[in-house]
Amino acid sequence: MYKAGDLRVEEREDPKIIEPTDAIVKLTATCICGSDLWAYRGIEPADHQVMGHEYVGVVEQVGSEVKNIKVGDFVVGSFVISDNTCEICRSGYQSGCVHREFVAQTIGTQAEKARIPYADGTLVPTPSQPAPELIPSLLAASDVLGTGWYAADAAGVGPGKTVAVIGDGAVGLMAVLAAEQLGAQRIIAMSRHPERQELARFYGATDIVAERGDAGVARIKELTGGLGAHSVIEAVGTQQSTMQAIRATRPGGYMGFVGVNYDVTIRGIDLFFAGIHTEGGPAPVRRFLPKLIQLVWDRKIDPGKVFDLVLPLDKVAEGYKAMDERRAIKVLLTL
Ligand SMILES: [Zn+2]
């Protein structure tokens, strides 16, 4: 991205092994994330910035210290580089690894190849080469599915719980899928777009709420006997959606927040009197990857349906435009 809104596809030098813990991955597919739009819209700075952080592909080379990943493996990687051995990683928070690096900032996987540092800690191989129809779902695990799953986990979703999901983008839809898999009794999806409502129902939403802000909170209260939801997932990141999430959570309930929330201000007193648990931030996708890959592999979930536009990599600019204008939920890029 040369600057906001200006994307170009150009030839770059092939990545090389630099550290002995690196792997070079030849990408099979990549995609555009809702968070890539922050730079596209000029909210995050972009000056000749490499783009993309979701990826699946085949390992082409490994450094001398890589032990678990082999040349020829098909791998799914997290959008945060992690060693998976430090104390933070071992506690399940690989997105806060002492060696963390954001793929989006320094590597950029809207590309044919990528150098992945800490390959053993970041990449997870699939049981064998995947059938082509599984590739979109495996790619979804790299971020949106992993992030939606983390949001559901952070929101304390479990059997018997009522869950409200704020946000009908790919992450919100994946949070609905996760809530269903984790045994939620009732899943309220907040959406005003008919095609996204339909996908939310496909993934397990039991109720759809089109209202937003105060009216959205009132509607959730109405559906929960005036109490609010046990588990609320914030997957947008605006002031309105954040306050809506806090206020829709019942006292003692849990809010998981994964929308990138630039410029959101929460007054201490609003959080104080809400009396809720909160957890969020960049998802430790690596924690969930083995389980998510297995669910996809066993065809128990179909997260790949969030990709509603497929373009070749050299049409990437068209993909950003479609997502920016909300004509596409999520764009898969073929190589
Ligand atoms: Zn670590």
pLDDT in tens, 211-225: 999 999 999 999 999
pLDDT band at 52 (very low <50, low <70, confident <90, very high): very high
What burial class does residue 164 get, using C-beta atoms within 10 Å of its C-beta: 0-12 exposed, 13-18 middle, 19+ buried?
Answer: buried
Q: In what order do the strands lie in the sheet with 249-257?
A: 207-209, 186-190, 162-166, 229-234, 249-257, 277-280
Residue 138 shares a structural domain with residue 216: no
Distance 286 CA to ligand 1 centre (A): 11
Ligand 1 centre distance from Cα of residue 116 (Å): 15
* In a shared domain, residues 161 and 275: yes
Q: Is 33 among the domain residues?
A: yes
Let me know the angle formed at the C-alpha of 210 by 204 and 212, rounded to the nearest 5 degrees: 120
CA of 56 to the centre of ligand 1 (A): 21
Q: What is the pTM of this model?
A: 0.97
- Write down the pLDDT at residue 302: 98
Quick one: 99 and 210 in the same domain? no
Write the pLDDT tens digit of every residue in 138-175. Answer: 999 999 999 999 999 999 999 999 999 999 999 999 99
Q: How far is the CA of 146 from the centre of ligand 1 (A)?
A: 18
Cα 127 to ligand 1 centroid, rounded to whole Å: 24
Domain annotation covers residue 216: yes
176 and 135 part of one domain: no
CA distance 309 to 82: 30
Q: Looking at residue 115, what is its pLDDT? A: 98
pLDDT (0 to 100) of residue 252: 98
Look up residue 121 and give its amino acid.
G
Query: Does residue 174 lie in a domain region?
Result: yes
Over residues 235-256, mean pLDDT: 97
Count the domains in the chain: 2
Q: How far is the CA of 167 from the centre of ligand 1 (A)?
A: 30
pLDDT bucket at 62, cuts 50 / 70 / 90? very high
Cα of 109 from ligand 1 centre, angstroms: 21
- Asked if 41 and 139 sit in the same domain, the reply is yes
> Residue 84 C-alpha to ligand 1 middle, in angstroms?
5
For residue 181, being part of any structural domain is answered with yes
Residues 244 and 198 in one domain: yes
> In this structure, is residue 288 part of a structural domain?
yes
Which helix (H) or strand (E) segment is 32 a member of? strand 23-32
Report pLDDT for 154: 98
CA of 85 to the centre of ligand 1 (A): 5
Lowest mean pLDDT among 42-46, 120-124, 206-210, 242-246: 42-46
Q: What is the 151 CA–ligand 1 centroid distance (Å)?
A: 20
Any domain includes 8: no
Mean pLDDT, the chain, as a whole number?
Answer: 97
C-alpha 153 to ligand 1 mean position (Å): 20
The Å distance, Cα 101 to ligand 1 centre, comes to: 10
Banded pLDDT at 25 (limits 50, 70, 90): very high
Does 288 share its domain with 268?
no
The percentage of the chain sitting over the pLDDT mark of 70, rounded to a whole number, equals 100
User: Same structural domain for residues 126 and 65?
Assistant: yes
* 275 and 320 together in one domain: no
* Residue type present at position 155: A
The CATH number of the domain holding residue 60 is 3.90.180.10
**Contact yes or no for 93/84 (Cβ under 8 A):** no
CATH code for position 266: 3.40.50.720
Structural domain for 316, as ranges: 23-143+284-334
Q: Are residues 35 and 112 in the same domain?
A: yes
Strands 207-209 vs 55-62: parallel, antiparallel or unpaired: unpaired
Residues 195 and 104 in one domain: no
Using DSSP, state whether 11 is helix, strand or coil.
coil
Same domain, 94 and 176: no
- Residue 87 in domain: yes
pLDDT, position 183: 98
- 14: in domain: no
The predicted pLDDT at position 31 comes to 97
Distance (angstroms) between ligand 1 centre and the Cα of 257 equals 22
Last residue of a domain, one of 280, 296, 318: 280
